[in-house]
Structure 1
Amino acid sequence: MINKLWLSSTIVLLGLLGSCSDDLNDSDFLAGDLFTDSNIRVVLIDTLTVNAATVKFDSIITSTSDRALIGQYTDPVFGTVRSGTYAGLLPNSYTIDTEAEFDSIVLFLKYDSYYYNDTTNTNTIHIKRLIENFDPDENNAFYNTSSVAYDDTDLGTLSYTPRPQSSDSLEIKLSDDLGLEFFENLQSKIITNTAEFTNEFKGIALLPGTDDNGSVIGFSKATTDFYLRLYYSTAGETDRDQSYTDIILNTSDTPNPFFNAISATDPVDYLQTLTNGELSLSSDDSDDKTFIQSGTGIATKLELPYLKTVNNVGGQGTLLKAVLKITPVLGSYTDFLSLEDYMSVYLVDKNNDITSQLYNTDASTVTAFLNTDNQEYNDIYYEIDLTAYIESILTTDLNSDQSLLLIPEDFSNTVDRFILNGTLNSSTKTKLELTYAVYDEEN
């Protein structure tokens, strides 16, 4: 019965090839003599089986992120979304004038324009001193699930209303005790190199408040944007001469001692069943929905199990176009919880391990782009051109265990989340549309 599902497909007669749409005329299809000398019909098949599910990777690498992500908010579906940054630091100079006197120490953080959720609410940042070394795992990387122990005492704290689109920097005054420690060790030459500094000072954690319900904010990792500044001065003839030493992100160690610890706790019950990366949560078991969340490793998996049944349409055929359409759940996105314009498409094996990114025949990457042409009618959907991929399945013995994986392009660099429709509701379901030319050889 399953192998005959194509028979129930919606088949629309579009007419002879000469009356096809511009999209078909612009396709890569080349008609040979056999095609042009035959009776031709072009059909649209849009009810081939698509299986939609949600998966969650055990962890994702965040040490290569180009931003620090700090903040916390409560999501009605994904739970408490939280991100903190762990960073190792090094001074840009180990020399301080012997006549200088300590003034203060300040942490500077510059916005990089990224934010997620409501920025009108207050955020809090707590600065903690790390008390153990960064210890990368066997893959020589740090993940969203990595951790480094820290002292509970705040080195500094700041409550602020984010302005992520501005060019401003946050300034957080830190403990004078920390500043004096740095100042005296550098001035007296107790610390003169990287190894001595990192032995005494492991780094900092920048953590949101445990009761915050605001937004996750992105800060630049550039050494001119994220740094501690140690201020000191020396007596001049009339005034004091101000000087400073910057303590910047450690980029000399491999891997760099940096990562964003990103989590989402207490999500809806069915998301809590994703306890390891090999599990798949069918949309049939999650209110006909699938889910995506950057930073925590949640992604949507799509299986196309019966594509080869298209060959049973009769006669000889050629695939002209294949488009997968996936509709976001109405009401699941807002100005604060926005949709991305593009998402990436990967191939995964039966264990949900990524095997490769999906490419077109011209070596460009296959993407899911947000079609908003009819947005005023709440008709928006992600559209994926799978023509080259499906043609390869129909004409070769491609591994049938492969599935498609849909994730945002900045999967390790953001906390964006999406809720997509599954396959049960006829008006909103995820569906594959195949435009197929069928022709019969004349006797």
Structure 2
Amino acid sequence: MDKQTHLYKSGLALLLVPFFFACDDPSNLGLQVDERENEFQTEKVEFTLPVSTIGIDSLRTEHFSASLVGKYSDPITGTVEAISYNSYGINGGQLPDQGDSLQFSRAFIRMKIFDSRLNQPLTGESLSIHLAEDTLYSRAVYLADRAIPYDPEPIATFTYDFNPEIDTVLEIPLSDDFGRFLFTRLDRVTNPGGDYADSLTRSLYYYDPLVFVPGADNQGILGFDLASDTSAIYVEMVNSQGTESYYTFDFREAHYNQLNRDRSTGQLNDLSTEYTPSANTGDYSYVDMIAGVYTKVALQPLLDFVELNPEVIVNNSVIELNAITPGSSYIDNLERLQYYFLLDNGRINGPGGQTAASGQYAMLTEGSYLSSGTDVLNAVVDNQLRYRSNITLFSQVLFNNFSNEEDYLTEELVLLSPRTLSLDQTTLVNSEVKLTLYYTSIK
């Protein structure tokens, strides 16, 4: 945050911001000053910023209440397979009390679907569920390339169809053996003595995490909302009158996604080294979080201008990115993009953007530069498929860096989505990545 403080040292800069902040026409400032006595001039300059597409393989997948399952092949980014690892624990419901007639009926999983990636409604998709052979830890950081061994014998195999226009829940039947295993743990609680009550209610029982594995020929990826009340394992019981009751185990425990990427099947098949730009992008650049594909934006045209015009006050600075309509009607553009700094080590620091020092790693909102806040700037796509953001104070920081003979806060930006497991994807038009600068200088 030290570099940001230089913005506040420029009293003239802050004095003039209210005059010029929203001025689009430099000739119409409304200043009633005799032009012969006006020592300032206002001008506008527009830059086309160079952009490229890079690959970054490391992606955290455990810190949101989302999990992905499926497989999808994209002509640009290649093929992604999503395997889901999920711990589970007790939620609540009806227990088989001593002396009643509750008997095990069946067990199944319901998962609330919040998003999907596909080209058309899915038919004949397959899914198997296995028991993991290792523990998941709630405070560990799990990256997308992490694999955990699991029992090859599934506790469930399932074939399903999915239409995103009408389907919101996936119900998966579990084997009777696994269902009876869970029922036995519930039944022990209320057997004579109730010796296992604490083990259940205090989560002292250990349950092997579940691994959701998609079929090899699947054509789509589903996103499950693990925080939803719907997403749970259901143990169904019936009494002698045939009345059904349930006990549920939820998925609000440790979880993560393994993402197996194969870029060789797509246009970006030369993204073999992290942060090295692809030579196959043509007129476009791409942001696809689960594929590990990001857009890099160079600020060099602006920095060249800074070094030729150091004594400048930034009145207004706007960056605009223009996207195209996705190739599938079932896929949306990313709702928000954030601008992360390429650091001296040639990499971004994603976790750093979520800390109190976020201004060292990512572009902040205008208010944060004035107040030493930590709100990372979000560029939201509009109905014209534009990501348009005011970056006036960030631009002024760059001028101040040069004037103070300091390294620039950054010279390159990497675009990413704050939703790391988003199934959306964005294609940007390279020639339409613009930065427009309105500034005041001394005549």
Letter in 2 for 1:281: P
For 1:149, the aligned partner's letter is P
CA separation of 1:122 and 1:36: change in aligned 2, threshold 3 A: farther
Instruction: Note the C-alpha offset of 1:79.
Output: 1.4
Deviations 1:373-431 (A, max 9, x none): 5xxxxxx5433332211111112345337222211231x13122223233xxxxx3533
| 2:391 equivalent in structure 1 | 386
SS at match of 1:431: strand
> Could you say if the C-alpha distance between residues 151 and 128 of structure 1 is closer, same or farther in structure 2, counting changes exceeding 3 Å?
farther
Equivalent position SS for 2:24: helix
Distance 1:289 1:393 in 2: 27
Cross-structure match for 1:338: 332
Q: CA deviation at 1:436?
A: 3.1
Tell me what 1:208 maps to. 214
Distance 1:268 1:327, change over 3 A: farther
Q: What residue is the counterpart of 2:355 in the other structure? A: none
Aligned to 2:5: none
CA RMSD of aligned residues (A): 3.7
Alpha carbons of structure 1 residues 357 and 315: separation in structure 2 relative to 1, 3 Å: closer
User: Is 1:248 aligned with 2:250?
Assistant: yes
Equivalent runs, 1:144-223 vs 2, <5 Å: 144-164=144-164, 168-188=168-188, 193=199, 197-198=205-206, 201-213=207-219, 215-222=220-227
For residues 82 and 370 of structure 1, what CA distance do their matches in structure 2 show?
A: 27
Residue identity over aligned pairs, in percent, reads: 17
Question: CA separation in 2, counterparts of 1:333 and 1:39?
Answer: 53
Residue identity opposite 2:282 in structure 1: D
The match for 1:10 is none
Q: Which has the higher strand share?
A: 1
2:127 maps to which residue? 126
Residue 68 of structure 1 is matched in structure 2 by 67
| Number of aligned positions between the proteins | 390
Check if 1:407 corresponds to 2:409: no
The SS at the match of 1:395 is helix
Give 1:299's match in structure 2, choosing from 291, 294, 302. Answer: 294
- AA of the residue aligned to 2:434: K
Compared with structure 1, are the counterparts of its residues 312 and 414 closer, same or farther at alpha carbon in structure 2 (3 Å cutoff)? Answer: closer
- 2:440 corresponds to: 437
Once the two structures are superposed, the pairs formed by residues 94-113 of structure 1 within 5 Å of their partners are 96-97=96-97, 99-112=101-114
CA distance 1:436–1:122, change in 2 (3 Å): same
Conserved 8 A contact 2:316-2:439:
yes
> Quick one: structure 1 residues 73 and 36, their matched pair in 2 at CA, closer, same or farther if it must change by over 3 Å?
farther
Going from structure 1 to structure 2, the CA distance change for 1:302 and 1:311 (only over 3 Å counts) comes to closer
TM-score by length of 1: 0.75
Distance 2:96 2:147 in 1: 33
Map residues 245-394 of structure 1 onto 2, 5 A cutoff.
Answer: 245-249=247-251, 251=252, 256-267=253-264, 271-275=268-272, 277=274, 279-281=275-277, 286-311=281-306, 317-328=312-323, 330=324, 333-350=327-344, 351-354=346-349, 355-363=360-368, 365-370=376-381, 372-373=383-384, 380-394=385-399
Counterpart contact for 1:92–1:246, Cα < 8 Å: yes
Relative distance call for 1:136 and 1:45 in structure 2 (3 A) is same
- Residue identity in the other structure for 2:277: L
CA distance in 2, matches of 1:346, 1:315: 24
Q: Which consecutive residues of structure 1, in runs of 5 or more, have no partner in the other structure?
A: 1-19, 374-379, 423-427
Q: Deviations over 1:253-286 (max 9, x none)?
A: xxx3211223432345774444454x3316x564
Match of 2:424 in 1: 416
Q: Which amino acid aligns with 2:342?
A: V
Q: Report if the CA contact (8 A) 2:318-2:436 is conserved.
A: yes
